[in-house]
DNA sequence: GTCACCGAGTGGAACGTTCCAACGAACGGG
DNA sequence: CCCGTTCGTTGGAACGTTCCACTCGGTGAC
């Protein structure tokens, strides 16, 4: 009896997976032929093809991707390291990645670093050791040096974070422009004292901050621009607004780093008894599905999330399958989506009121 | 010159990864010793250990998990098939899974089926071919037969979906009980005509539906119970409410299948000019972070999402590492979280109004 | 009738690890 | 002084595939 004999070994361990050799024996052919049939190669007689298929079916054979990856030196796997799975922005990018990967015969596998550099490092290491054919980093907070190091051994595409690195590709929206559009919108409504609750060290936060200042400058409002530190999470937005309201000086509008944080900001305004947009206008960023809901109804800056995911995969495959060597950094334009969270400032009229004359105890 | 010589091959293809043999050559030891050092085994001289570590460092060696998995016949990978990455409920379960996996020397890898059986099948196949050591299915919509088939070749834990299958484990909250708690709460506020927008074919939807009917029954309200089909998504909730309002008969409260759908319901009520909770009370399910935000402020049923993720991994490892063979099906109790979306019905008073006296054509 | 070719199928060497049996040196006990 | 142990190290056989070189008939051209 073959030492491979399964079933009834009594030791109680889970039955081992059947291999290509098991299929070959049962079908009475060589393992090579089985391999050919499974990858449906031409030049195999119908007769043998049927026999192999039948045998594989009967013993419940499932190819071992591990062994295949080893010998082929490619896994057909795309590893995706997502900064924050709680942010719907990323899950929408993921939809695009998933779709594009499937359409090209690849499988996408996700990972998360929980918005921390150490976590991202570990997540990437897992992907690297698995020898994925390419890695997408969605909104990494990792240092550019670490990213470049990863890119030295596998094609990398960074999504939602600016880069000029020659080592990898990237796809982002124009965060500076988006921030400017947000400010322009608020200014056109009559706002002058505008604050920005930023995204802290999050991907793209620096550009949005710069764009905000830039636009305020252009409108001659640099001196009344106010920036407080936040994060790309609900808490980040809530905390930022709380800080802001502690010492606000007649601020009538807030541009928050992203939609998730804007939702947190909405919450904080509620707590302070400020109604939006009557007392305070609010603009977010990303246009996540949540922003469109009646109860949130957030004016925001849209970026084509799903397309960005699709494009990320395309960039990866250009490198992997077509052997492109030079870096490509794509930037897509954002656009304004006006909803109910913005309106004219509370004291209307073209006259600019002097500073801090709005009564709020604390 | 060795055929392995890398660098300067001029063909322009990405440099191959260094292997354990490369490290061995450079350190002047055997590959076996390198292997021992890397897995830091005892009984290796400090001298050699240092030499190997140094060599590995210098050439940027990174172990090949593929080759290791092949020979060890275990991958230290936990595959997680998530029904819907857009649902924060699952991303919170994921946090727990991630945490528990890391704590036990495993790596979690995620996948999604996009709430469709075909997608789930494909996602599971990827995980299966990768030979993950165990699979967690979070809220699968797949048929029990398919699930059992997967469980025949690898340990499986199903999260958030009831099962009595002897083939795998599961961890759920008591959906029936949760639904009853929701109804009890509404009834205690004075509601009589209560509707349920269900979760369609989603995991746990059937139990919540049953619990709803059960509770209505117990309160003698079976005849005024109304159920419409929805889904566990914003759209599902919105559509369900729209259907409901088309022919409502004095309904004053709605219990929606989950929080995501409840948020959609909120939206629909807005559209119809109904205010919550003045005109209509609303209860959700899951207590996702969103539900707690001031602007949503949803009364809901809490389940310990993160803990469920942690437990799922624990169940998996009991099978994989401790070789447990019998199935375990854990059920945790849900609890009521009262917030601002529920209140007394619009027509107060203890007197029960007769049926159908509210004018609605259809 | 020979030869080149083609189609169908096969064996064996890789792929990069781990693990096991085995080895020599050092060492302590009898 | 020899023998059994222990310690540090090593070669080689796996693991389950793919791919290459090869064989073996049959067939068509000359």
pLDDT per residue as tens digits for the range B341-362: 999 999 654 444 444 333 333 3
Locus of tokens 């082929």: A72
pLDDT at A16: 86
CA of B38 to C1' of D7 (A): 19
Q: Among A101, A129, A146, A325, which would you mutate to test the B interface (most chain B Cβ atoms within 10 Å of its Cβ)?
A: A129
Q: What residues in chain A have per-residue pLDDT under 70?
A: 1-14, 248, 347-362
As a residue count, chain A comes to: 362
User: Mean per-residue pLDDT for B187-207?
Assistant: 95
The pLDDT-based confidence of B252 (bands split at 50, 70, 90) is very high
Structure tokens of B283? 């209860």
**B113 → chain A, closest CA residue:** A98
Mean pLDDT of B3-24: 64
Give the pLDDT band (50/70/90) at residue B330. very high
CA distance A224 to A58: 75
pLDDT of residue A347: 64
Q: Compute chain A's Rg from CA coordinates.
A: 27
pLDDT(B27) > 60: yes
Residues 276-335 of B with CB under 8 A from A: 289-290, 293-296, 323, 325
pLDDT (0 to 100) of residue A214: 97
- Cβ neighbours of residue B288 under 8 Å, at least 6 residues apart? B87, B88, B89, B92, B259, B260, B305
pLDDT band at B160 (very low <50, low <70, confident <90, very high): very high
Question: Which of A310-314, B12-16, B178-182 shows the lowest mean pLDDT across its residues?
Answer: B12-16
Tell if A35 CB is < 7 Å from nucleic strand D: yes
Task: Tell me the pLDDT band of B7, cut-offs 50, 70 and 90.
Answer: very low
- pLDDT for the residue B246: 84
Instruction: Report the share of chain B in percent with pLDDT over 70.
Output: 91
d(CA A276, CA A67): 58
Which residue from B9, B45, B130 is spatially nearest to A126, judged by alpha carbons? B130
CB-based contact A49:A86 (threshold 8 Å): no
Q: Are A44 and A37 in contact (CB under 8 A)?
A: yes
Question: In terms of Cα–Cα distance, which of B26, B45, B295 is closest to A293?
Answer: B295
Q: pLDDT per residue over B258-315, tens digit each?
A: 999 999 999 899 889 999 999 999 999 999 999 998 778 999 999 999 999 999 999 9
Q: Is B362 exposed, middle or buried (0-12, 13-18, 19+ CB in 10 A)?
A: exposed
Average pLDDT over residues B33-58: 94
> Which residues make beta-bridge pairs with A137?
A81, A158
Distance CA A352, CA B270 (A): 36
For chain B, give the mean pLDDT.
Answer: 91
Q: How far, CA to CA in Å, does B13 sit from each of A155, B1, B61?
A: 12, 20, 19
- Write the CB contacts of A208 (distance below 8 Å, at least 6 apart in sequence): A175, A176, A178, A179, A196, A198, A199, A257, A285
Cis upstream peptide for A47 (omega within 30°): no
Q: Are B282 and B253 in contact (CB under 8 A)?
A: yes
Q: Is the CB of B66 under 7 A from strand D?
A: no
* Chain A contact present for B13, CB below 8 A: yes
């Amino acid at each position: 009896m073959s030492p491979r004999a399964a079933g009834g070994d009594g030791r109680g361990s889970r039955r081992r997976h059947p291999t290509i050799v098991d299929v070959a024996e049962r079908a009475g052919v060589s393992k090579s032929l089985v391999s050919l049939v499974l990858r449906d190669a031409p030049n195999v007689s119908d007769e043998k093809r049927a026999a192999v298929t039948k045998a594989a079916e009967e013993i419940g054979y499932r190819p071992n991707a591990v062994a295949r990856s080893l010998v082929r030196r490619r896994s057909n796997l795309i590893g995706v390291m997502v900064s924050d799975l709680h942010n719907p922005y990323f899950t929408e990018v993921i939809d695009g990645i998933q779709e594009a990967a499937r359409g090209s015969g690849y499988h996408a596998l996700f990972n998360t670093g929980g918005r921390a550099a150490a976590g991202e490092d570990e997540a990437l290491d897992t992907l690297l050791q698995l020898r994925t054919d390419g890695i997408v980093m969605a909104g990494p907070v990792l240092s550019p040096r670490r990213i470049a190091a990863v890119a030295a051994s596998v094609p990398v595409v960074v999504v939602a974070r600016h880069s000029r690195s020659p080592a990898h590709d990237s796809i982002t929206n124009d965060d500076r422009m988006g921030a400017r559009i947000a400010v322009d919108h608020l200014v056109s409504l009559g706002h002058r004292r505008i604050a920005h609750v930023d995204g802290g060290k999050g991907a793209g936060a620096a550009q949005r901050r710069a764009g905000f200042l830039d636009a305020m400058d252009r409108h001659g409002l640099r001196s009344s621009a106010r920036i407080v530190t936040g994060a790309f999470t609900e808490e980040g937005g809530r905390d930022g607004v709380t800080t802001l309201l502690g010492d606000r000086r007649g601020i009538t509008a807030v541009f928050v780093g992203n939609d998730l944080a804007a939702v947190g900001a909405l919450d904080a305004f509620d707590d302070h008894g400020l109604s939006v947009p009557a007392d305070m206008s609010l603009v977010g960023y990303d246009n996540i599905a949540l922003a469109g809901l009646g109860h949130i109804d957030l004016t925001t800056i849209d970026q084509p999330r799903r397309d960005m995911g699709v494009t990320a995969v395309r960039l990866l495959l250009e490198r992997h399958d077509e052997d492109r060597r030079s870096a490509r950094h794509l930037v897509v334009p954002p656009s304004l989506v006006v909803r109910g969270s913005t309106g004219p400032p509370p004291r209307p009229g073209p006259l600019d009121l002097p500073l801090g004359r709005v009564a709020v105890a604390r």
